A and B are shown apart, each in its own frame.
Chain A
């Protein structure tokens, strides 16, 4: 159907209201998801964050402390080993089954 054809029905007011409502809903959801993720990132870099829009100071201390405290280099290595094993096992078992 070409757009120039006069028989193409115009989009009614209801249609437009409906699609606007859908866009508003999607934007609302996406904004909130990003808000949630951002608040985790912001608070992970914050020194003190009480009763204000943004923290009063910024630091990466939590990251270095967590890295040292939980020996994250080893933890990450073990995690990668497990991920690798799971992938290999899934392929070995899954491919012949499929």
Chain B
């Protein structure tokens, strides 16, 4: 009971308070904030910009994490070493990673030095202050997250099932396709949703590594500008509500898709 009370107090109450405030704009009727958001391209384009960053990064990272987690499904020393290493970028936090990437990927950074010295590039490749800076910063945070989540789903599958398939002559590829993938589908959907929500609310790396005036002007930056540069909290809350709504739509669509694709027994897997 105290748990529910705390959730109500710390989450539901601020959310409802914000929702109500977003309908009390500085000027105009109740819907003025929302009308303003959807009438100004500078504001409503942030949805597309953010999706254009969040969806590809999530697809790439979940897509890469799945085969690697699958390849590491057997409990080995490598699995423990890699898990430990991959926890590092999550622990260090986005700001340190963003600062590191600025130096590392910058025109004088080690990546460009290696590329130029080895003759792969004739002049420094621009990897910061644009789309790719944000993409790579998100990947460093998202890939370990996706890997660790998927690994826990993969290792949760009863190894007797693929062994049974192996005795019937199924190689690793067919085991993956017919045994693991159906059992992993719910876990993959959850992983995709969590990674997507993280990427969609990207803020520090979009400011530090992106071009926050244009190509990576994500929706969180629009909300920040409204709140702390225009001091229009009502507008900022309205943007936050729109942000939440877009996230809910995508998450709902992914879960609905999972429901449509996946119709099998859920036994033998957790999640």
Contacts and interface: CB of A to CB of B under 8 A. Distances in A.
Contacts of A83: none
B239 interface: no
Interface string B6-28: 10000000000000000000000
Contacts of A51: 108
Contact of B110 (A25, A33, A53): A53
A57 interface: no
A98 B93 CA distance: 28
What does DSSP make chain A's interface, helix, strand, loop or mixed?
Answer: helix
Given A19-B71, A25-B68, A35-B104, A40 B99 contact: yes
A36 B101 contact: yes
What does DSSP make chain B's interface, helix, strand, loop or mixed?
Answer: helix
Interface stretch (B81-89, B242-250, B258-266): B81-89
Q: How large is the interface on B (under 10, 10 to 19, 20 to 34, 35 or more residues)?
A: 20 to 34
Contact of A39 (B2, B3, B100): B100
Contact of B97 (A36, A43, A93, A96): A36
A96 B3 contact: yes
A10 to B, nearest CB: 11
A36 B104 contact: yes
Contact of A97 (B2, B71, B82, B101): B2
Interface residues of A, number: 26
A35 B172 CA distance: 33
Interface of A: 9, 12, 14-15, 19, 22, 25-26, 29-30, 32-33, 35-37, 39-40, 43, 50-51, 53, 92-94, 96-97
Interface of B: 1-4, 6, 64, 67-68, 71, 82, 85-86, 88-89, 92, 96-97, 99-101, 103-104, 108-111, 113, 140, 143, 171-173
Given A33-B140, A40-B100, 12 more contacts: A9-B171, A15-B172, A26-B82, A32-B140, A33-B86, A36-B100, A36-B101, A36-B104, A39-B109, A43-B103, A96-B2, A97-B3
